[in-house]
Amino acid sequence: MGEMMDKVTVDHIRGFKGRERLPILTAYDYPMAKILDELEMPVMLVGDSLGMVVLGYPDTTEVTMADMLHHVRAVARAKPRGLIVADLPFGSYENVEAAVANSQRLREAGADAVKAEGGLEIAPQIKAILATGIPFMGHLGMLPQHIKEEGRYRVKGKIETERDLLLRDAALLDEIGAFAMVLELVKPELADSITKTVSCPTIGIGSGLSCDGQILVSHDLVGGFPWFTPRFVTPKLKVAALIKESIKEWQLEVRQTAETEGKA
In 93-238, alpha helices (H): 96-109, 123-131, 147-150, 160-176, 188-197, 218-222
# of chain residues touching ligand KIV (CB under 6 A): 12
Rounded to 5 degrees, what angle do the CA atoms 6, 68, 34 make? 35
Residue 24 Cβ vs ligand KIV, minimum distance, rounded to whole Å = 8
Site for ligand KIV in 24-63 (CB under 6 A): 26, 45, 47-49
Asked if 140 touches ligand KIV (CB under 6 A), the answer is: no
Residue 139 Cβ vs ligand KIV, minimum distance, rounded to whole Å = 6
Burial class of residue 170, CB neighbours in 10 A (0-12, 13-18, 19+): buried
**Cβ closer to ligand KIV: 49 or 195?**
49
Residue 4 Cβ vs ligand KIV, minimum distance, rounded to whole Å = 22
**Cβ-based neighbours of 127, under 8 Å, separated by 6 or more:** 176
Name the residue with the smallest CB distance to ligand KIV. Answer: 47
**Cβ closer to ligand KIV: 48 or 174?**
48
**Cβ closer to ligand KIV: 51 or 110?**
51
Neighbours of 88 (CB within 10 A): 27
Asked if 221 touches ligand KIV (CB under 6 A), the answer is: no
Measured distance CA(127)–CA(178) in Å, rounded? 9
What are the two backbone dihedrals, phi and then psi, of residue 242, each rounded to the nearest 5 degrees?
Answer: -65, -40
The residues assigned a catalytic role are 184
Amino acid at 16: F
Asked if 84 touches ligand KIV (CB under 6 A), the answer is: no
Residues making contact with ligand KIV (CB under 6 A)? 26, 45, 47-49, 87, 139, 182, 184, 205, 215, 217
